[in-house]
């Protein structure tokens, strides 16, 4: 019964008191659903309004007589309770001195002798003489006692009692082990007990928890919520793993060129799983702080272009390397060339002219096959590259990551011991960790030195040994090189056709051509054997470059993840106290934190590389078609146009000048 003030549905709860459920009856009236009738007071019936009664339905039933009601646990297990009661009474009676009922078979006694013995026995047991010993004589076959009830040994009532005790406990969703009794059967083993406890938490115990939570939430105001404090460590660990798994799955579904879910839908799904203790708004996405990301994937590089700052041979602190500033294809782990071509703008949707603004008279006479659509080419390459790269985090099983974490930790701890003694926890987190991560990914860092780089190289050498010993991370070798060649050929053809149209339009504008489009007889299909062989070799090298780039980033992600775990205040304090690598590796918390950090980096790496490699490879093949078309057209020079603070400046060079490092001039 719930008393509210005022006496209405919105009134404040003043007190709540339990009522004997055996005195309550359903009325099937929504406004007054329950009435109370006490057998001792037959002339009075009390009805409760819906806001004044709070009930917990344990077992709703479908019978018409139980409509709007339920079945209490004692009613479900009544026979089990009765059997336990009778069993206790039976065993209690066995302990009494009263002889049990039965028949004495005197076997070879004659009727006369039997009656005489019975008469003498009655006389013997009369009186107060303490020495009463009945004796049988003049017979050869032993007498036999035939009890009228079954012996306790034949009834096996010890096992029967356990059985009915299990039934009674199950009526409340519990197990005997939950109330301190041993189980019957296979749960005598540790594994059986653990399995039983897990089942209890999922079934009866969980049911009682949810019923009680709903009960108290109905009494509390809308702005308050009843929450159980979870003290079971195993449940907390399982819940954390479930949250991590769901988070990784939702991240996979929301990323890629064709995501299956939006970020808002993924957030709503996460809330619906019930794994969060706090209430969050499913429609309000958090603001991402780029500076706090431990890995540089998806962040602008030093040149403002790259998906991957610090790729192999890439920009190291802003210096110029060979091959035009050290730009490396994303397939090798780099971020590609440092310019944005018109073709790449078209492929990625940048600077796209709306359909209604396109002059149909200037469009080519033939649109070409569907496969030459830029978006289609990007999708085709992503279908080849994306699934394999996105499978890397799934292939990174915990046992494999533990092996790599152990190797990195053993190589890293000796160097951080000397550093952590001199730095506080805040300095490690705010200064040392961020600068070391920058250096790890070849970005400009104030900690850059020969000694630090040598230490990092030693760590990577150890990881190199283990990665080569178990190459689970190699995914490109499974790709079909013919499919890659097909996409290359189509992108190359797209570049040729696009550049040919540009040339024809330029000639038309100068009055050197009669029309700005090609006739249907012109075909741009790639049939040149030498060029096909060149593209085929590029496809073969592409597979090797992708795996090399994957290994390059894995070594750095693992190092960064282990470094993140070592920099936590608890582990840093242990290192200052003299803890060695082996002691840290026995700490499950440290290892699990490193695994989580590494998997996060691998997911970011796989998604970013899939997008970058897809765009870069299509752009590269299309640009080659551009260049070859220009070269075959008789053009000799090309020009770089620089738009900077000092205005527009142009430098001309040979059309065949690739990856050339030109000297600086006053203008450029």
**Percent of the chain, pLDDT > 70?**
77
CA distance 13 to 226: 15
Of residues 418 and 340, which shows the higher confidence score?
418
Let me know: does 336 contact 329? Beta carbons within 8 Å. Answer: yes
613 pLDDT tier (thresholds 50, 70, 90): confident
355 pLDDT tier (thresholds 50, 70, 90): very low
CA distance 55 to 69: 10
Looking at 109-118, 122-131, 371-380, 544-553, which range is the least confident one?
Answer: 371-380
CA distance 343 to 500: 13
- Contacting residues for 76 by C-beta, under 8 A, at least 6 apart: 59, 171
Q: Output the pLDDT for position 342.
A: 40
667 pLDDT tier (thresholds 50, 70, 90): low
- Return the domain boundaries, the chain: 2-55, 233-287, 373-635, 636-668
Is the per-residue pLDDT at 660 higher than 70?
Answer: no
The closest alpha carbon to 596, from 299, 333, 296, 396, belongs to 396
Q: Output the pLDDT for position 47.
A: 92
**φ and ψ at residue 255, rounded to 5 degrees:** -110, 170
Q: Output the pLDDT for position 370.
A: 44
Q: Output the pLDDT for position 343.
A: 37
The rounded radius of gyration (Å) of the Cα atoms in the chain is: 42
The neighbour count for residue 33, using CB atoms within 10 Å, is 18
pLDDT digits (tens, 9 = 90+) for 559-569: 999 998 898 88
Q: Output the pLDDT for position 153.
A: 67
Looking at 34-48, 463-477, 608-622, which range is the least confident one?
Answer: 608-622
Looking at 46-55, 543-552, 615-624, which range is the least confident one?
Answer: 615-624
Is the per-residue pLDDT at 620 higher than 70?
Answer: yes
Q: Output the pLDDT for position 325.
A: 40
Q: What is the pTM for the complete model shown?
A: 0.45
CA distance 576 to 578: 5
CA distance 149 to 70: 40
Q: Is 312 left (phi over 0), alpha (psi -120 to 50) or beta?
A: beta
302 pLDDT tier (thresholds 50, 70, 90): very low
512 pLDDT tier (thresholds 50, 70, 90): confident
**φ and ψ at residue 403, rounded to 5 degrees:** -60, -45
Convert 410-441 into a string of H (helix), E (strand) and C (coil).
HHHHHHHHHHHCCCCHHHHHHHHHHHHHHHHC
pLDDT digits (tens, 9 = 90+) for 135-151: 887 778 888 888 777 76
297 pLDDT tier (thresholds 50, 70, 90): low
pLDDT digits (tens, 9 = 90+) for 372-431: 667 777 777 777 777 778 888 888 888 899 999 999 999 999 888 888 888 888 888 888
- Segment 293-299 mean pLDDT: 55
Let me know: does 629 contact 500? Beta carbons within 8 Å. Answer: yes
CA distance 163 to 170: 11
The b/e string for 99-119 (b: 16+ C-beta within 10 A; e otherwise) is eeeeeeebeebeeeeeeebee
Of residues 223 and 364, which shows the higher confidence score?
223
Which helix (H) or strand (E) element contains residue 648?
strand 647-654
- Contacting residues for 285 by C-beta, under 8 A, at least 6 apart: 263, 264, 267
Of residues 379 and 201, which shows the higher confidence score?
379
Torsion 604-610-611-615 (CA) sign: positive
CA distance 525 to 414: 61
The closest alpha carbon to 294, from 575, 587, 603, belongs to 603
Q: Output the pLDDT for position 327.
A: 47
Q: Output the pLDDT for position 465.
A: 92
Is the per-residue pLDDT at 31 higher than 60?
Answer: yes
- Segment 355-377 mean pLDDT: 49
- Contacting residues for 651 by C-beta, under 8 A, at least 6 apart: 639, 640, 642, 662, 665, 667, 668
Torsion 127-133-138-140 (CA) sign: positive
- Segment 91-116 mean pLDDT: 80
Q: Output the pLDDT for position 368.
A: 43
228 pLDDT tier (thresholds 50, 70, 90): confident
Tell me what the pLDDT averaged over the chain comes to: 76
Looking at 72-86, 346-360, 437-451, 558-572, which range is the least confident one?
Answer: 346-360
Q: Output the pLDDT for position 404.
A: 92
CA distance 314 to 553: 13
- Segment 451-461 mean pLDDT: 89
Is the per-residue pLDDT at 338 higher than 70?
Answer: no
Cis peptide before 6 (omega within 30 of 0): yes
Let me know: does 312 contact 329? Beta carbons within 8 Å. Answer: no
Let me know: does 352 contact 346? Beta carbons within 8 Å. Answer: yes
3-state DSSP call for residue 3? strand
DSSP, residue by residue, 527-571: --HHHHHHHHHHHHHHHHHHHHHHHHHHHHHHHHHHHHHHTSHHH
Is the per-residue pLDDT at 97 higher than 70?
Answer: no
Which helix (H) or strand (E) element contains residue 291?
none
- Segment 269-292 mean pLDDT: 75
304 pLDDT tier (thresholds 50, 70, 90): very low
């Amino acid at each position: 019964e719930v008393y509210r003030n005022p006496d209405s549905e919105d009134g404040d709860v003043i007190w709540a008191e339990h009522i004997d459920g055996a005195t309550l009856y359903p009325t099937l009236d929504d406004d007054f659903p329950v009435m109370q009738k006490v057998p001792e007071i037959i002339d009075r019936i009390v009805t409760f309004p819906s806001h004044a009664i709070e009930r917990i339905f344990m077992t709703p039933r479908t019978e018409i007589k139980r409509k709007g009601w339920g079945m209490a646990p004692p009613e479900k297990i009544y026979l089990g309770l009765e059997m336990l009661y009778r069993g206790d009474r039976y065993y209690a009676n066995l302990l009494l001195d009263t002889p049990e009922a039965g028949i004495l078979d005197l076997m070879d006694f004659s009727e006369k002798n039997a009656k005489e013995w019975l008469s003498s026995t009655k006389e013997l047991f009369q009186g107060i003489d303490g020495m009463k010993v009945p004796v049988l004589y003049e017979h050869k076959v032993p007498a036999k006692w035939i009890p009228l009830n079954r012996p306790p040994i034949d009834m096996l009532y010890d096992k029967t009692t356990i059985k009915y005790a299990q039934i009674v406990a199950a009526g409340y969703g519990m197990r005997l082990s939950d109330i301190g009794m041993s189980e019957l059967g296979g749960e005598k083993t540790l594994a059986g007990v653990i399995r039983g406890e897990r089942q209890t938490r999922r079934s009866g115990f969980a049911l009682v928890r949810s019923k009680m939570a709903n009960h108290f939430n109905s009494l509390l105001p809308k702005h308050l919520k009843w929450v159980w404090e979870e003290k079971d460590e195993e449940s907390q660990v399982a819940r954390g793993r479930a949250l991590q798994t769901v988070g990784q799955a939702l991240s996979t579904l929301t990323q890629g060129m064709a995501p299956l879910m939006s970020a808002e839908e993924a957030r709503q799904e996460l809330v619906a799983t019930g794994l969060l203790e706090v209430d969050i708004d499913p429609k309000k996405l958090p603001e991402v702080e780029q500076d706090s990301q431990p890995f540089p994937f998806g962040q602008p590089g030093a040149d403002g272009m790259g998906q991957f700052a610090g790729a192999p041979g890439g920009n190291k602190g802003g210096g110029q390397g060979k091959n035009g500033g050290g730009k490396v294809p994303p397939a090798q782990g780099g971020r590609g060339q440092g310019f944005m071509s018109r073709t790449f703008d078209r492929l990625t949707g940048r600077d796209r002219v709306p359909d209604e603004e396109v002059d149909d008279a200037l469009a080519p006479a033939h649109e070409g096959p569907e496969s030459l659509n830029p978006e289609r080419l990007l999708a085709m390459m992503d279908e080849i590259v994306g699934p394999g790269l996105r499978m890397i985090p799934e292939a990174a099983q915990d046992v494999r990551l533990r092996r790599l974490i152990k190797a990195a930790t053993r190589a890293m701890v000796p160097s951080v011991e000397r550093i952590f003694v001199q730095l506080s926890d805040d300095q490690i987190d705010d200064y040392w960790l961020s600068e070391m991560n920058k250096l790890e990914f070849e970005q400009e860092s104030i900690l850059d030195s020969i000694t630090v780089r040598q230490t990092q190289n030693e760590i990577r050498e150890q990881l190199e040994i283990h990665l080569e010993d178990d190459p689970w991370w190699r995914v490109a070798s499974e790709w079909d090189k013919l499919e890659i060649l097909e996409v290359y050929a189509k992108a190359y053809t797209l570049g040729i056709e696009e550049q040919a149209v540009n040339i024809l339009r330029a000639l038309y504008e100068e009055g050197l051509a009669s029309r700005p489009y090609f006739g249907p007889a012109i075909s741009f299909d790639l049939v040149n054997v030498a060029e096909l062989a060149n593209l085929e070799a590029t496809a073969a090298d592409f597979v090797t470059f992708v795996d090399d780039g994957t290994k390059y980033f894995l070594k750095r992600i693992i190092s960064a993840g282990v470094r993140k775990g070592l920099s936590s205040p608890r582990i840093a304090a242990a290192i200052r106290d003299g803890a060695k690598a082996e002691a840290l590796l026995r700490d499950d918390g440290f290892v699990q934190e490193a695994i989580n950090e590494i998997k996060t980096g691998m997911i970011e790496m796989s998604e970013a590389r899939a997008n970058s490699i897809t765009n870069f490879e299509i752009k590269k093949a299309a640009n080659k078609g551009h260049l070859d078309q220009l070269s075959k057209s008789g053009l000799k020079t090309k020009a770089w146009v620089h738009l900077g603070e000092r205005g527009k400046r142009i430098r001309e060079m040979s059309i065949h000048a690739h990856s050339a490092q030109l000297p600086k001039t006053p203008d450029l």
